[in-house]
Structure 1
Amino acid sequence: MVEYLYHDYSRFEECLKYAKEAIEIARESVMRGRTTYPSDLTRPLLTMSASLFTLEREDEAFESWHEELVLWRGAFDQDPTKHGATLAHLLKMMTNDLRKLKDDLKVLEYRREAVDIWRVLAKRDLVGCVKHSFELTDSLGELANHLSRLRLHDEAIELRREAVDIWRGLAQEEPAKHHFKLTDCLREMANHLSEIGHDNEALEYRREAVVFWQRVAEQDPDKHIFELADSLKEMADHLSGLNRDDEALEYRHEAVRLWRNLAKQDPSKDSFDLDLTRSLREIGDHLSKLKCDDEALEYRREAVEVWQSRAGQDTSGNKHHFELIDSMRQTSNRLSNSTLTHDDESLEHRGETVEVWRGFKHDPSDPHIFTLSLKDMANYLSGHQRHEEALGCRRQVVETWRGLANENLTEHIYELTDSLTDMAHHLSQLQHDNEALEYRREAVEIWRGLLNRDPTINSNAPVWFTDSSTEIANHLFKLKRDDEALGYMSGAVEVWRGLAEQDPTTYTFEFTNALGDLEKCLSNLQRESEALECLVEIVEAWRGLVKQDPTCHNFELVGSLRDIANRLSQLKRDDDALGYRREAVNIGRKLVIEDPTEHHFELTDSLREITNHLLQLQRDNEALEYRLEIVKVWRGLAKPNAATKYFFELLESLREAAEHFSQLQRDEEALKYRREAVEVCRDLVKQEPNRDHTRFELRDSLSEITDHLIQLNRDDEALEYRCERVEVLRGLVEGDSTEDGALLAHSLEELADDLLKAEKHAEALGYRREAVEVWRNLIQRGDTVHRLELTKSLRILVDHLSQLSRDAEALKYQDEETEVNRLLLSDDAFQSQIARAQSLHGNGLALAAVETSNEAPITETLVH
């Protein structure tokens, strides 16, 4: 009864009720000693577990499964041979469901237990040892795959070795019976080793597979030639990946030789020709990579000859044309891309491709390939500046589809209009604008006619009509025929308006998109009032849908409100714009309340736009309210264990709020937000210590609060933040950041200046020495542009040491400064900068007055 109900998918609850009753009966029987066989209890337990999983009651399901697992473990302890397979299969079934719940550690535990069970069975049961070897190696593979996903590669590799060793032993006894399992294990081992970068070891396993199949193929060539060829291909691909191309080429040559021999031995088998031409293409690609173009082309020509021969022998006249066409197209492409000159031969192949299809006994799919060959030839001719011949090919494509569309327009309308558009595009490139326009007009009228006859005959017709209308409109705009262009754009809008009136839910999106395209065109033509009417209609369309169902389309409505507000702002209609912005904000607030996990970005973007608008109107205090609301939104989301994107958004909003308070001269409040920004950055660095971006943010936040405190004359507090910024920059410079190296050196010099003000000469001197060392390191890494900064740092350090009467040390740094200046003055690029400065400001010491950012450093050097 239970099993019958389980297979009736609508009655799982009823099934669960009977399963529980069956379990209670079975438990009572076990307790009274009426049965000791586990399946009497485990069968209903299994059914109950499956039913609970179907009902998504996972916790209860696993409780039931655990009880079943305990029973079978006990039975296995009593009789491993009899109950081991059942227990292992149960463990496998449980791991499949645990994987869905992403409980990787429990999956790992169960997979290891299953492997141990199969090891026991493979050793104990001599009669069934081969069967259990299959199960054991499959289980080893599953465990290895799981360990690999957890990046426990060493243990996974050892398990794969165990599986390979098992099948090596069995294949040695019976090669014909176990060769597939052995080579599958060898392939999995090689793939895994390659994945973790052990390419040379992987290569040995691939080589073993090749040798194995060579030995087996010698005994039965016809039967195992495919496996041997595949192993040769894998070996060649692996060697190519290691840039051992000459060795790889030998394996590709052997694969070609195999297929040539088989094709000669049995010409009746098409499959041999398919594999031969595939191998010929692969060796052609390989030789092309080695720049052996002539030899590569010989193999490609051979592939063409194979199918030409086949097509010639085929009395039906069409069986092998697909393969012939494919070979000729690939060969012609290679001839085109060759470093040698084979344009005539390439064109000959393309022409032959077209002629093959022209004379082909058509079925309904053939025109597509025929016209594709014509387009292929046209593109080739265009690329070689043979435009009139290319146009001839494209006209043939159009005429082909015109003829078929006359017989059945509905079936071939897309191909016809696509060929007309392609023809128009090509004519436009050749500046044949009027002729191109006629082809575009024909495409539009075809779609218009179809829509007028029956709008429902083709669900994509409105889309294609709109695309065609947009293309001809863009063409007309280019020709300065604006009114005519707008007529086509308006025609597309009218099609979607009619559909949206009949079914707003389905078609409003396309209708508003068409209106949006028309609005952009009107705006570009500076017809602002008409453009604004389009935006108003878009807003009203979405308002109508929201009114029908307040739970849907608010997102689209908010977007349309923001668009019209931006347009009104450009037109200086600020009060109207603010009305739309407030409506967008109110909808965004409502969306966030309804679903706290979504729509925060829409709300904060709307808040930021109304804030900026109010600032432009100098309504700073009102703008501040919206600014602080943005902060509040992101504070609510930037909780412990939340996504880091929320912390970055909070950080940006805090900085904006601090800057806003600063502009209002509310420095203490600004400082409060800057402190919070620093704390957020510190938390981000703790969460992601190896991510440079978080440290960049901390660096910038520390710089901002330092500058702020200095403006408030709170130098001692500023000094603490400056020291922290130096530590952050040191960490970034260790990560090889040149830009931050320069920032570090400047920060060290600023910190030294602050310490000097505080009469901390020893500490200041240490930071000045470090700044010099940073500039030296940057120059040693090749950034010679920093020599000028090094001379400045050396000069400051010399002056500092002189003030402390440490003349010997000062002299050493002064000598270094002289040498760096000598190198600067011998640098051609630096000399050209000096010449420019002199041409702008005069010679010699007169340059000392120059404050221009580019020339000022040069000035100081010349003065010195």
Structure 2
Amino acid sequence: MPSTTAAARLLASLARAAQHVPDAATTITEVVASCPRTLLPVAVDVARGGHGPIDDAVAAAVPEATLDHDDLRAWATRIPMSTSALPRTALAIARRLRDSAPDAAARASAAAELANRLDGVGAWTDAVDAAEESVRLHRELDSSGSGLAHSLEVLGGRLAKAGRKDDAVAAAEEAVALYRELGRDAVGPGLALALKSLGVRLAKAGRRAEAVAAAEESVHLYRKLARTDPDAHTSGLALALTKLANRLDEVGRQTESLDAAKEAVGLHRDMMRTDPDAHTRGLAEALDVLGNLMGALGRRADAVPLMAEAITLYRDLAEGEPEAFRSSLAHALSLQGNNLSAIGHAIEALDTVREAERAYRDLTAARPEESPCLAHTLVTLAIVLGPERHEEALTALEEAIRLHESWPERQHDSHPSNHAIAVGYLAAVLDRTGRRTEALALAEKAVRMWRELAEAVPARYSRGLALALHEFGHSLAAVGAKDDELAALRESVRLYEEADRRLPDVVTEELYSARRHLLRIEPAP
């Protein structure tokens, strides 16, 4: 048996060769299987060190390897939950852990880990089954401790991926309640993690104020933990900050949201230097959020390099696990297309959005719950196509609206403005093509939709209402309804002025445009 150092050199050489010679992967499987107790941890370190894509080869050695439960448990902990190098190996170990569990309590714990590992490869239906098994076993054991709480937190996330939003919220709320009963000193990072997950579940259910409160508490707890043990908890803090940035943005607290996203990106960059395998996914998500915020605040030139970096990372992740990351890649591509169009890179923008559209069409064929995302990408496509290609834009917008209207309302509560954006932009395109009666009806509908949103969350949606009113004013002018046009423009300017006080320089151009329109039609004193 070669020494550990020699084995590491051999496996590293085979890993590099496996990128070009398929037989090398088979040799890796045989080598690891020959002495798994010694060579499996070596192979894990080689893969995580970036020597080559050997995940499938190592995973193939696990099912028949002579390993006991304690061995498997020790090696499972060597692979981070967010691994990008070894998701299949981690899954194979998790399956063995559950199947070799010596008792119901151990099987309950292993089933929760299996659920997370299945999620890591995009096997969401199987992940729900494993998480439900974990919760069921804990309940049968009459467990009310951190084991049940953790399993419920895992189940909430898996149910959300399966589209069962109400059940996901219930599981997440029960997890938080159990952790609170145990007391903060007894649960370590468990309550912080459960609160982070609860924030996401509540946001998807449209309960945004509660979602912000949960996310803020999660970040507060992780900060305390990270001060005490930064090596153990900085990663949790960075992930919680990314979620907090999203939650703050959803209620219109953009400045605080931007600060949280910047901090998350900074922390992930620091951790990537020492362990890229564990933090690639986290950095991609943080960059995605920060780039999205920059774009929404009009800082498109700043957003483009951030989104480009996120896209590069998502491509690498999706190459290894397409089921887990294709949706994230498509989302980032769609946002980037909008950014590129705004700074005048028309050809690159169109190519980028077309790629996002193709990806979402493939995803929607298998998972209809992706339909709202496809719809929003089609709106982006219409914007990128511009006024010169209005027939193609009309086709894209009409399909987008059909998708929004055919999808159950509760399924896109987390993106409530997307339908309003589609209706408003279709009205603008119809107005440009001379179909003024249809444009007027749709512009009025868009105003109603934005008004409902703005009444619920003024800081987040009043800017959208201002734009819709301005576009409605154009449609009213086209049919000679001067009094209604004047009323729409006055309200639009007022809302823009309020937004400008809250976010200086962000809506300046939109405000000036609305003011110029109003000055043209305002009666002389």
Q: TM-score, normalised by structure 1?
A: 0.24
Q: Which has the higher contact order (CA 8 A, sep 6+)?
A: 2
Please identify the structure whose Cα radius of gyration is greater: 1
Q: TM-score, normalised by structure 2?
A: 0.36
